[in-house]
Structure 1
């Protein structure tokens, strides 16, 4: 960056790396699943049974190892008696499961 002011060169804009976006989305998805499971007091085994998945699959999601798909979000929302909520952005609060109205 030396000489920036003397040469009147603008720095190139930061471009989001698609791989980093995928990682952040996977982490947000995992956190949302973990949080909702905790609120319901479910173990990994109980959620896996409800969702028709294996414990390893649930743990992989919660650890941020699975990129969320619409189908998977809907499937897990049904198992959690919740709706999926998404916001723009890719931070940890951008995905959550909202309980169905009682």
Structure 2
């Protein structure tokens, strides 16, 4: 299952029986933000050509934690975000506005 399929399945499960409620909309926003972060980590990691295990080693995490993060299954703390940015040799930019998020790792200059 790819990231997009997983995200759609998770949102559908969250919305079962509660379509349109504020709680469901809030949950969907949280899921989207976690997914966006996970996708950004995945994109930068694959750009560097490193494995989840290598990223975990660099960031002081375990490989299962990296996997869960990339799938949008967790929201890391600020210190962990800082370690991830350092491990990915990048700056982390996050923009949050009215329920939308943009997450990008910007590679450091060589």
- TM-score exceeds 0.5: yes
Number of residue pairs matched by the alignment: 87
Point out the structure with the larger helix share.
2
Q: How does 1:1-102 map to 2 (within 5 A)?
A: 17-89=25-97, 90-91=100-101, 94-102=102-110
Calculate the aligned-residue CA RMSD, in Å.
1.8
Cα distance in 1 between the residues matched to 2:57 and 2:77 = 20
Q: Shift of the alpha carbon at 1:15?
A: 5.8
Q: Which runs of 5+ in 2 are unaligned?
A: 1-20
- Structure having the larger proportion of residues in strand: 2
- SS of 1:87's partner is strand
TM-score, L = length of structure 2: 0.71
Q: TM-score, normalised by structure 1?
A: 0.76
CA distance in 1, matches of 2:75, 2:27: 11
Q: What are structure 1's unaligned runs of at least 5 residues?
A: 1-13
Misfit runs of 4+, over 3 Å: none
Q: Distance in 1 between matches of 2:62 and 2:96?
A: 30
CA distance in 2, matches of 1:37, 1:79: 9
Take 2:107 and 2:81, find their aligned partners in 1: how far apart are those partners? 14
Larger radius of gyration: 1
